[in-house]
Each structure stands twice: as C-alpha cells, then as structure tokens.
Amino acid sequence: MIRIGVLGDIGSGKSYVAKSFGYPVFNADFEVSQLYRNDKKIFFKLKKMLPRFIHTFPVDKAQITNAILSSDHNLKKIIQIIHKEIKKKMNVFLKKNINKKIIVLDIPLLLENKLNRKDDVLIFVHSKKSDILKNLQKRDNFNKKLYKKFKNIQLSLDYKKTRSNFIIKNKFTKKSVKKAVTEILKEIK
C-alpha cells in the first residue's frame, strides 16, 4: 500500500487535493468534528479538563474556540485528548483499507504528531497567500485569532516543503490540480 500524506498551509486546499487522487482519504478534520458531535467519552474528558468552557453535548465548536482563544495551554490540552483518538481512527482506517493500492492521509498535523512513516509519499500543496486568505474568508467559522494559534503549533511551511516528495501549485482551479495529481500518480505507481 502506498501512503500519500498531504501537507500545506491552513486553507491551501489540502482536502480538495486529497480527494482529487480518487483513493480512500482519511480526513482528520472531519474525524475531529465527528468526535465532538458523537463521542460522549471525548465530551467528558474535555469537560473535565476545561470545565469553564465545555458545557454541552454534542460539543459546540464555539466552546472549543473560546477555550483555545482563552489560553495556549487549553489548545495543548485539547490536542492531547483529540490526538489519541485520531490516531486510533487512523489505524482503523488503515486496517479497513489494507488491500487498497493507495490511501491518502489528510491530516493537518501529520508531521507534528509523527503520524507519517519514512516511506510515505509526501505532497506539499503550495498556494499564494492572497488565494489562501480569500479561501479562508469564505468559511463560515473563519477566525483570524484562531488561525494564528493553529499556525503557531505547526512546523514551518519551508520545512514541510523540503520534506515533501512533490509540490502541487494549487491555483484553486480543478484543471491545475487534476493535471498535477495525474502526473504524481504516474510517477508513484
């Protein structure tokens, strides 16, 4: 099985690129939202660690946002709880797709949380800062302060770029992404 890890800046189009490969995708952001929505154990752990902020189940994103904006320490607590569950979910995904030729890992903190393997094919999604900002501002829940907090816990983009086997220049057009994905698939198969 070939494991593709998609790296890049917040809002650079990583999830779109990941889906464009046409193979099973493990989307960590989606899985985190499912944990907040469906997992009572996660709710109780968060409530115990952050009683001033976490009050209701399902966990409301506004509660998480308020906790993170209140203190960097709270973000670390949340990551500590969520990371273990995401790792378990990723392992279930990998077992379920063991016979697939290729799988794609869309995990924003892939390198930071050491979820990658040496033989993973790493792809960096490069986008212009102005395009990223436009893309982020389209999101309903975009919060510039929250964005900066998440940027601070990530490895530098230059480091991620140098670790990558391929770079896709995302111009936010289907044509440019599809062409780059097709070329990468030819090379790695």
The predicted pLDDT at position 77 comes to 93
**Is residue 187 domain-resident?**
no
The predicted pLDDT at position 20 comes to 95
**Is residue 150 domain-resident?**
yes
Contact indicator for 110, 159 with CB cutoff of 8 Å: no
Is residue 131's pLDDT more than 90?
Answer: no
* Structural domain harbouring 111: 2-24+97-182
CATH of the domain at 153: 3.40.50.300
**Is residue 134 domain-resident?**
yes
What whole-number distance in Å separates Cα of residue 51 and Cα of residue 106? 31
**Is residue 9 domain-resident?**
yes
The sign of the dihedral angle between the CA atoms of 55, 58, 26, 66 is negative
Q: Quick one: which of 59, 22, 55, 11 has its CA closest to 37?
A: 59
Q: What percent of the chain has pLDDT over 90?
A: 68
What whole-number distance in Å separates Cα of residue 100 and Cα of residue 164? 22
The predicted pLDDT at position 137 comes to 77
**Is residue 156 domain-resident?**
yes
Confidence of residue 1 (pLDDT cuts 50, 70, 90): very high
Confidence of residue 146 (pLDDT cuts 50, 70, 90): confident
The predicted pLDDT at position 171 comes to 74
**Is residue 55 domain-resident?**
no
Q: What is the mean pLDDT of residues 7-11?
A: 90
pLDDT digit string, tens, across residues 90-104: 999 999 999 999 999
Contact indicator for 137, 144 with CB cutoff of 8 Å: no
What are the tokens at 112? Answer: 């930071």
User: Which residues have CB under 8 Å from 7's CB, separation 6+?
Assistant: 14, 110, 111, 122, 123, 124, 125, 160, 163, 164
Q: pTM of the prediction? A: 0.90
108 preceded by cis ω (within 30°)? no
Is residue 138's pLDDT more than 90?
Answer: no
> Based on the structure, what is the number of domains in the chain?
1
**Is residue 189 domain-resident?**
no
